[in-house]
Every structure is written in structure tokens, then in C-alpha cells.
Structure 1
């Protein structure tokens, strides 16, 4: 290559290809113009080529190089004469970024793969006590590192697209800071907003990546949970399909069970749960007793007659105290309260008679509250050879009647007016009206439950029951079978329990099965006291499969005869002591508790009847016929700490992963379309391709290539790094010069080369048509 061009002009030094300029120590410094020529690597793009002297005079002139074959420089052809070739995206220069994209995806899927199988499960017990949060932290570090490496490289590459137009040199610093962290990215966004959309996107991702760690940690939440206990007996709950009753020996414990449940709701205690934590999620059914009450106060008839002692004689007068003259005194009154079609003693008469001579009370006691019973029996008028005392249930009449207290709003218990009765919207209560009536019923039924045992404490939930007023089926024949009348058995079938064969058998027997009606009254044709095998044929299979519920009808009669008549049926009376400010009441203890000093109402009566039904049900479930009282089976659990995954928190890492990969793809495409060299964020680009070019490099101080056939392409980040690896620099602190970075001789002696050898003894240097140096 000629050292001086004709006319004294120096050959152009392409900033993309490293070409040292020949210079003489005696040649003065001159200013040379920049001449744009086409880029031989990217057709259509231009680079500025400078013909001029190096920045320093300490370089060895190329004239001093020996003119040997090994050091002869081949002439450079004019790149404008090179044929244009179609180039593709150089993916090989993005290998590290592509690898990080894969690592980014792997870390995201690793988070999902780790959490999904453990969602709702106990905390995993891994070796070395590794926790699930520790793994998530590792995945997060890998994710953020890969993400930031991709973004940093991309932002570094985008700065060269930014400088395709005249920009401030300080923007190099701004781009560097934007690629380094969220503060620099925020500063760049505040200054340039979206003037460079891809850079703005990268800045937003870098800022949002700060929240990746807390978002990933929020994915996992430890919660208390129950785990199925393996081995051991299952949990069980008492239930029965058939209550057998021996009339000759009525159970003595029925009264105690009912008395306890009447005052305080009783919890079932006859259940098994070894761990103290069990669940009965599947519905189980049992024979039971049910109650229903309705307010029938509108059916009450009231008659009032008052006699007032006035002017030394009794005269008819008003029964309202406010209408009575102050000087007068109430002498006699008569109040009759009657519940229509109610059984005795629900037609109650309340009266008071005073001896006008000495003003003493002649009738010191009056009925004020009562409960009566009517037995509901099977209509046997059209049946032959049928017992006439088959009981189907019992109806109750409850009445709260007027007394002298109703003549005034005064509350004798609290010595003040009756509270809550001054508002017309709320005063239609038994307490405010001072009278009321209710009609209730108690009879057999079938109840459906689910249950849960938590810490040894049972919570049983009633989810359904058969109709309380439903008439059950009964035995269809009066003939005896084993000395047992079939008509003494009441029966009902759960149509949601039966199989197809049993359904067909019922239809063939004349029963109409309506899918909308679950409970079907059934007339027994077999003796339920005879043990039934599991594989029994229809109709015995109904009882074997726990679909038929039956009870001895005599139980409905005897429980009232021996227990409930004395317990709940009776009268409460008002007494008149000498001091009438605080009246007293007498009657059965249960009724006095229900009466509650005239504070009784329909709600308290309904609750009392429900407690009675629950108490009877509790006794029935634990005293069923053994062969038809298989216990309900549940599952035992133990407490554990489980993993609860809040999947909503994975949104941010997933979105940032997708945006990062999208950014990388768009950045590569943008670089290709703009035909920019792939310099990325390397600071060497400014050293080799900046305003000073490569003129500062002393070829005699460049280390030889590690491989004989190494090619250096300064248009790529890889090429600049390979070339920079062979150049040694040092900060100069000479007192006669300002501090600066100077090229020095490599430290290794074996890397030193004789003066004039380019750059090693066994290598040759030449420039091909593409401007790539080989042998350097």
C-alpha cells in the first residue's frame, strides 16, 4: 500500500476497519476533511472516513516498516465499487442475549412448575431444609438478571440508532445510566419521554422490574389446612333408619334427654373422630322428630267485661284504666280468650272478683298462659282389621291470654311502661297486645345433615328435612307376621336414594314417583325387625340400602303419654298477693320458663318446640335398631401448614417477561433495518469509532493474535473486544501532561515483537475486499 497518495493526500482511514495512517516525524500537523463513503458491510449506510494525521506524534511511521512479504499491506479497494449483497439478521452476534431470553422463560416456568403441584398442599419437605420461598428467590434473581442483561444490551445498541441524528454528546452518559438501573431509566423517561419508543419501553421494564421480588413473594401464602389421615378407623356419626320400640319397657332416659335439650340445646356427643378434626362432607340422613309453629293470633276471640266500684256501688264501665274516674276503683272484671278449634284448656277465662264489703279478692288465681295437645291419628274408618290408635303425630295449641296487666301499659316486673309498645309499626306483638296464640306440631320426620369436627368440637348442619305435616305410610295389612302388626309401622322412602330396580318396583306397586317430590309415603309389606341382608331383593332392599325410614307408631303415642304430657302441656296462673305491684305466677317449671313473666311470643315458642324436637331426635339417633343403624362415615384430618398460591401476583413477572422478549425482537429488527453495526453498549466503540478513530493506536504496541487466522471486524462488538484485548493502556500521571489514558507496551515479554513486524513473526496481514483484517 502506498504511503502517500498522489498530490500529498493520505489514504483514507476507515473508522470501521483499523488502518494506521503513515506519518513522518518531520511532517507538520494539518487539518483534514471528513469524506463520507458507503459502508462496505451494510450497503446503503455511510461512514465518515478521515484522511489525516494521528492525534499523537509518538507513533512509529509506517515508512520504517520493513518491506517484507509478511508485512506488506494490500491495497484497499474503493468500497463504493463493491457489489451489494443482501444481508440477513446476524443472530450469531446476539447469542448471549438469546441465551438469556431462554433463561428468562425457564425461570418463569420454573416458578409456575414449582407452585402449581403444591397449591393447597402442605409445605414441601425438601433436603437441606430448603423452603419454597428460597427457591422462588433463586428463580427471581435469575429472572431479573436475565431480564436486565437483555435490556442493558438492547439499550446500549439503541444509543447508536439515537445518534443517527445530531445529538448531545452527553446523551452517551444518559443512555449508559438508563441501562444501569431504574433511576437512570426514570431520568431518561422524564427527559425524552417516548421520543425513542424502544428505549422508553426498556426504561419502563427496568423500573417495573424493581417490584418483581415482592410480587413473587406474594405468590405464596402459608395457611392452616387439614390433611387426610392415613390409616386408623374412620370418623363416624350416629344415625338410624328404623326406631324399634318395646311398649312394655318405655326407656327411662328419654325424659332426661328431653329435659336437658329443652332448656339448653344439646350437641351430639356419640361421634368418633380420632384426630379431633374430621369432616362429613357427604350428606347423611337419619330418622328424627321435627317441629313447626305458626302464629294464629288472628283466630283469637276477646271478650271483656269490667265492673267499676263508683258511688258505693258496682257499675259497668271501661276496661281501660285511663277511662276510669280517679275516685273509682276496679272491682270486678272478666276476660275470655278463646282459640278457635283449639283443644281444652285453650279456651281460657280470666276473671277477678272482689268482695265489696271488705275489698278482698275472692278469686286470687286466674289462668293466663296454656299449652294443649291434640293427637293426630290415622283415619281407620274405612279399613278392616285395623288398630285404631295408630298415631301419626301431635298438634299443639298455645295461648297467651289477657289479664288485668293488659288494662294498662304498666310493666309490673320493671315498674315502668312496657318498652317498645309506643310505636305503631312495632307494637303488634304478644307483649304489647297482651294476648296471642300459636299452633305447633311435633311428629316423626327425616333429616339430612353434613358435619365438621374441628379441634374435637362438632358442628352439625341441618341441610334439609321431610315435610313436618306429611302423613307417613303404614302397613297395608292387619294380619300378623311374627306377632307384629304391620300397620304399626310408619314408613317413608327417599326417592333420591333408590336405584333403578327399586324405582321400577315402586312404580309396579302403584306408587307415583314425582321427581319434584323427594319423600314418598310408603306402606310396609315386610317386618323391619327381621334383619335384612345387603343383597336383599325389593322391597327389603329399600331398608338394606338405607332408603327407607320407618318407626313404630306406638312411639308417637307413648312419648306423649309418659313424657311430653307432663312436661309441656299445662296452665300458668296469675296470683294476687296483698301487694299487687309485683304479681306472681304458678304452673309447671317448663311453662313458667317459656311464659317468661308474660314476655312470651311466637318466636320463643318456636325455639322451644325446636329444642324439644332436637332433643327427641338426639335420643332416636342413638337408640335405633342395631341392624338398620349403620353409622355415617367421615374422613379424619390433621392440621398442617399448606401453601396457598395467589396466582394474580404472577401477572407482573409474566408481563415483564413477555415485554422483555418483545423488546429484544423489535430492537434486533430495528438494528437490521437501520443497517447499524452491532456495537451494543461497549465503551470501546467510542475509542475505535469515535471522533479520534484509531489514529491513537501504535501498531508496534499491538499484541499478536492468539490464533493465526483471527479475523477482526470492528463493525461488531465482538470484533472491537477481540482487538481491544490485544491493546494495553495505562493512565498517565506525568507532571508535564494532563492525566490521560495512553497505550503502552504489553507487560508480557513473549508478547513483545520486533520493531517493524506486523504483528507477529508467523502471521501475515492483509485486507480483503470486505475490509476485514486477517492475521492480526
Structure 2
């Protein structure tokens, strides 16, 4: 019997830690490695997986970077062009802000500012439109690759194609992508609003004209401060021209436009504010001695009476004023002079005061086809009108400037000139002194009509009635008038503020107006009017005896108190302008000029930022 030696017996059952090969998944009998061995084993098992994942992520990152760079490379020219467009727009803004408020002549380049802005805006617009159009063309493929491809129509290709070409197509594309793609809608808006870039920039650029003081220019207006009657030749030459006009029956042009200087715009210093005045009528800028008129409507004093000797219907009535002026038979108008004591009932206090020392008191009585409510006659007589005007020496205060080469001035106020006996301390009554003095014989009794200008500007200082006595170069005025009788107090004022009208000139002007100008009577005459080659018409018109120019008062049968007064105003304005232009200069013969500032119209660039 074979026995197994003890040392050769199987040990499977005696070695529980060893795992049998057929016992998969069982840990019974398995050897447990140490902790260091276990870590090394784990690292060896996981290292290939982590490395593979790291390499994969690195490759993906590199692919993304490369694809992004490749994507940007495709649009590099568009990006550069966009930078150019931004630079062009920035240049437009910088240029416009720099030129705003600067003279247009300071622009240093041969091409104009508008052309420069137009070129830059065209570059900017062209770049924006080209980029937007290219993006729209590329985005049409994305339009079909989106998740909503099922709802996309083939005709949308045409909308995208048209949207990149013009304004109408862009508007249609905007309707298509309005609620689907804000990016494409923005591109459409860029195309649409790009058309407004050029017009808006051109509209913002404006040119305004501003008057700038010219240091080399001079401005002046002639005025009369001291009128002298010693220049008889000039006066009688002027009156002869008037006589020639009246004898020929021509109307006298009372509108005078003197050429003062060659500058287009000028301003003059205001007496009150001592600053240049650009608005006419706001403040007194200059004053001048001359003549004025004040008129009173005396139509209500006309007495109408039946004239049995009248032949025509219009001559069966006579019209009479309290001063004895009468229109009867075929008379149409009478012009006469004389005192106005008979009209005191209808005259204002100012008119009464002026009439006592007026150079001429003229009354016009005329027939008219226009009825006057002031003359309420119970009988059905033809209408008539009467007006009395006093012409007197005065001081005119003006506000004026030269606008576009023409003098624009308006009368701010007028001041009546009164007889001034100056510093004489005569014992006799000053009124008698003026009545008996003969200034053209003895200069001891020489006197003037004077008036005080207030406010008055002397050496850049303003003087008024309250501080005249504190001014330089003082002189004494002592007016002879009812309001200051019987003391006739004197006034001390700077000589530059006292304006004079020589008594000899006043007397000569009085004689001329009484004997030549405002004197005469007119009657109906017959004149043949040839309107056409066939129609011949006869018309009645006033025929004045040797003074046909006063027929203008008649106004072709439509005379009114206002129209007659306007003729007197024209005469006084014209004669005053003639005096200012040197008709009767001062004794030294030097013309008096009011200096001002000359301006040149300079074009400035103005940018409308609204």
C-alpha cells in the first residue's frame, strides 16, 4: 500500500490566502499589497487616461484658437476698414468743432469745409454700407442653417440679396428679420440710415454773417450844430433851384439819400449808454439843427355858404375861414400865411407856443372828394378841408446806423428852438430887444435860436439837464419865451450841447417861404389825357398861378388833413438834410461829423449741434 509522505501532501487546503484560479471575483485567500504598492499601482493604472484627456483638451483649445484666428483673418480687411470709417467720423467731428465760431476765411485749405466734410462722410458711409452688405450676404446661409429651417422660404434669398443692394431692399429685409434676428436688423438700419449721414452733416454746417469792427475803417454822419446865415450864395442857389422847379410845374423830390461813406454797416454811440447802437430807434446817437413842422386840422372852422353866382354845381358854394381865406366860384385850393390867432380854439398848447415864434405859419384850404367828419355841415355842400402848419427852427434828435450802405435813421424827439439873448444884461425888455435889433447891421445885437440837447455826450461823458453846469467849455443860454417870462432865467451848459440856428438865416428862410413857396391859389383847369391811341379823356385839374408845385397838396381831388401834413413833413425833412449836408455851414466852414465805428460783414462758420 502506497502511502504519501507527509512532506508531499497537497497544501491548497492548508493555504487559505492564495486564491485559486477558478475562484474569480473572490477575495478569499488573496494577498493584500502594502499601501505604497497600492498607490503605485493606482498611478500606473490612471496615468494613461488623464494624459489622454489632457492631450485631448489641449488639442481642442488649439483648434478653437486656430479657428478663431482663421475666422478673424477672413474679416481682417473689414476690421481695418471699420477703423478707417471710425477715424473719418472722428475727423469730421474734430474739424467741425474746431471751425465752429471761426471766420470762414481762416480755413487754410483750398478745398472748402463743406467739401471736406462731404468727402469724409462719403468715405465713412461707403465703408459702413459695404461691410453691412457683405455681412448680410454671408448671413443668408445662417438663415437657412438655423433650427427653423423648415419655415424658411427660398424667396428669402432674394430678400437678402436685395437688402444688401439698396434702400428699398433693406426696408423689405427689415420686415423679414424684424422678430427673428436683431443682428441682421441692425445691419439693415446701418444701410438705411447711412443715406442720412451726408445730408445731416451738410445741414449742420452753416455760415452766418457777423459785423466785425474794422480798425482801418471810418464812419461818420454829417450834422448841423451851428447854422450860419453868412453863406448867402449857397442859400440863394438852393432857393433858385426850388423856384425853377415851381415855375416849370415840376414836383420837388423831398426824399434825400446822402452817400455818407463806402462802408456797408456802421454804428454810432448812444448818448445815454455810451455804447455802439445797432438797433435803430432805441437810443439817441446824433442830433442836428434844422426845421420842423406842427400842424392843426382847422376843417371844423370852415363856414360853407351858398354862392348864387356859381356856375357849376361845385362852384355854387363858397368856403371861408375866420382868417379871411375864401374859396368860391371855380377855386379849388388856396395857400396863404399869417398868424394863427384865429385858430387858438382848436390848437394844442404846444402848437400855440410854437406859432408865436414860427418861421412861417401856413394855412391850406382846399376842396376834396373825401368827406371829413370834423366838418358836420347841415347843408349838402361839397367837402372841403383846411389845415394850418407852423414851420419852426428845431433840434432833431436821431437814432441811426448805416445798414448795407444806406443810412437808416429815425427821429427820436424834436426840441423847439427859441430866441437866445445869451449873456447880455440889457435893462430893456428882451422881447423889445429882439424886435428892434438889426443883426445884419450891428453884430452887437447878434442872436440865435438855440436848443439844449439832453442827454448829451461830451468827451465820453453823458450830461443831462441835471448836471449840465458841471460839464466843460460852458456857455450861457437865456431863452425869450412866454413860459419863462418875465425873468427869462439863464442856463449854463457845455457848448457842444447847445445847437444854434442863426437869426439871419431864419429871417431869410421866412421871406422865401412866405413869398415863394407857401403862397398862391389854384383854380380848375382843363387837361387832355391821352390814355390810349383811341381813347381821349378830358380831366379837370388845379392850375396854380406861377406856383404849380403846390398843386400836390390837392392830391388829385383826394386831399385830407393827413396828406397835406405829410407834404409839410417832407419839406422840413429835406431842408434839414440839405443843411446837414453843408447848405449853410458854420462860420469856420468846417463840416461837423458824428464819428462812429465801421464794420465789415465777416462770414463765420456755425455748427448746429442740435
Q: Following TM superposition, by how much is the alpha carbon of 1:264 offset from its aligned partner in structure 2, in angstroms?
A: 1.0
- Tell me whether 1:349 sits opposite 2:349 in the alignment: no
Distance 1:249 1:298 in 2: 40
SS at match of 2:423: coil
What SS does the aligned partner of 1:267 have? coil
Check 1:543–1:149 CA distance in 2 against 1; reply closer, same or farther (3 A cut): farther
Please list the CA deviations of residues 121-144 of structure 1 after superposition, one character each: whole Å capped at 9, or x if unmatched. 359563xx4233431222112331
TM-score (norm 1): 0.47
Name the CA distance, whole Å, in 2 between partners of 1:566 and 1:399: 15
Q: 1:213 aligns with which of 198, 220, 235?
A: 198
- Residues 507 and 239 (structure 1), Cα distance of their counterparts in 2 relative to 1, 3 Å cut: closer
Which of the two has greater helix per residue?
2
Match of 2:454 among 477, 494, 513: 494
**Which residue of structure 2 aligns with residue 237 of structure 1?**
221
Q: 1:336 aligns with which of 296, 319, 325?
A: 319
Is 2:383 the partner of 1:434?
Answer: yes
Question: TM-score if structure 2 supplies the norm length?
Answer: 0.58
Q: CA RMSD in A?
A: 5.6
Question: In the alignment, what sits opposite 1:301?
Answer: 302
Q: 2:560 aligns with which of 567, 587, 601?
A: 601
The residue number in structure 2 matching 1:552 is: 502
Q: CA deviation at 1:400?
A: 2.5
- Whether contact under 8 Å (2:360, 2:513) holds in the other structure is no
Taking structure 1 as reference, are residues 147 and 552 closer, same or farther at Cα in structure 2, changes over 3 Å only? farther
Question: Whole-Å Cα distance in 2 between the matches of residues 148 and 576 of structure 1?
Answer: 84
Per-residue deviation, residues 651-680 of structure 1 (Å, max 9, x unmatched): 6xxxxxxxxxxxxxxxxxxxxxxxxxxxxx
- Match of 2:288? 287
Using a 3 Å threshold, how does the CA distance of structure 1 residues 401 and 608 change in structure 2: closer, same or farther? closer
* Partner Cα distance (1:207, 1:557) in 2: 83
CA deviation vs aligned residue, 1:238-266 (integer Å, no higher than 9, x gap):
22322233398883234146567971135
- Structure 1: runs of 5+ lacking an equivalent: 1-71, 81-90, 310-318, 322-329, 353-364, 377-388, 407-417, 512-522, 528-538, 652-776
The CA distance in 1 between the partners of 2:517 and 2:364, in whole Å, is: 13
The CA distance in 2 between the partners of 1:350 and 1:526, in whole Å, is: 45
What residue in structure 1 maps to residue 116 of structure 2?
135
> What residue number does 1:187 align with?
172
Matches within 5 A, 1:138-149: 138-145=119-126, 147-148=128-129
Instruction: Call closer, same or farther: CA 1:100–1:199 in 2, change over 3 Å.
Output: farther
Equivalent in the alignment of 1:460 = 407
Name the structure 2 match of 1:710.
none
Contact 1:237–1:271 (Cα < 8 Å) also in 2: yes
Distance 1:477 1:230, change over 3 A: closer
| 1:204 has 2:189 as partner | yes
The answer to whether the Cα contact below 8 Å between 1:400 and 1:434 also exists between their aligned partners in 2 is no
**Pair 1:540–1:333, CA change in 2 (3 A):** closer
* Count of aligned pairs between the two proteins: 460
Structure 1 match to 2:516: 567
Q: What is the DSSP-based 3-state SS (H/G/I as helix, E as strand, rest coil) of the residue aligned with 2:457?
A: coil
How far, CA to CA, are the matches of 2:332 and 2:192 in structure 1?
Answer: 84
What SS is found at the alignment partner of 2:336? strand
Shift of 1:442: 2.4
Which position in structure 1 is the counterpart of 2:476? 525
By how many angstroms is 1:555 displaced? 3.3
SS of residue paired to 2:476 = coil
CA distance in 1, matches of 2:135, 2:541: 95
Q: 3-state SS of the aligned residue for 2:175?
A: helix
Summarize deviations over 1:601-646 as a string: whole Å, max 9, x none. 33442332123112221222124335671354453759x9x5776x
Look up the match of 1:371.
Answer: 336
Q: Is the 8 A contact 2:332 2:523 kept in 1?
A: yes
Cα distance in 1 for residues equivalent to 2:117 and 2:399? 43
What is the distance in 2 between the residues matched to 1:164 and 1:611? 89
Contact 1:371 1:397 (8 Å CA) reproduced: yes
Measured in 2, the distance between the counterparts of 1:240 and 1:292 equals 18
Secondary structure in structure 1 of the residue aligned to 2:194 = helix
Q: Which residue of the partner structure matches residue 629 of structure 1?
A: 592
Matched residues in 2 for 1:255 and 1:300: separation? 33
Q: What's the CA shift for 1:109?
A: 0.5
> C-alpha distance in 1, partners of 2:168/2:82?
26
Matches of 1:366 and 1:186 in 2, distance apart? 84
Residue aligned with 1:494, SS: coil
Aligned position for 2:577: 618
* Partner Cα separation in structure 1 for residue 364 and residue 257 of structure 2: 32
Report the CA distance between 1:107 and its aligned residue.
3.5
Q: Which runs of 5+ in 2 are unaligned?
A: 1-51, 61-71, 269-276, 278-284, 342-353, 427-441, 479-490, 527-537
1:591/1:117 CA distance change after superposition, 3 Å: closer
Q: Counterparts of 2:414 and 2:101 in 1: how far apart (Å)? A: 46
Structure 1 residues 375 and 269: alpha-carbon distance in aligned structure 2, compared to 1, 3 A threshold: farther
Contact 2:220 2:596 in 1 (8 A): yes
Counterpart of 2:543 in structure 1 is: 585
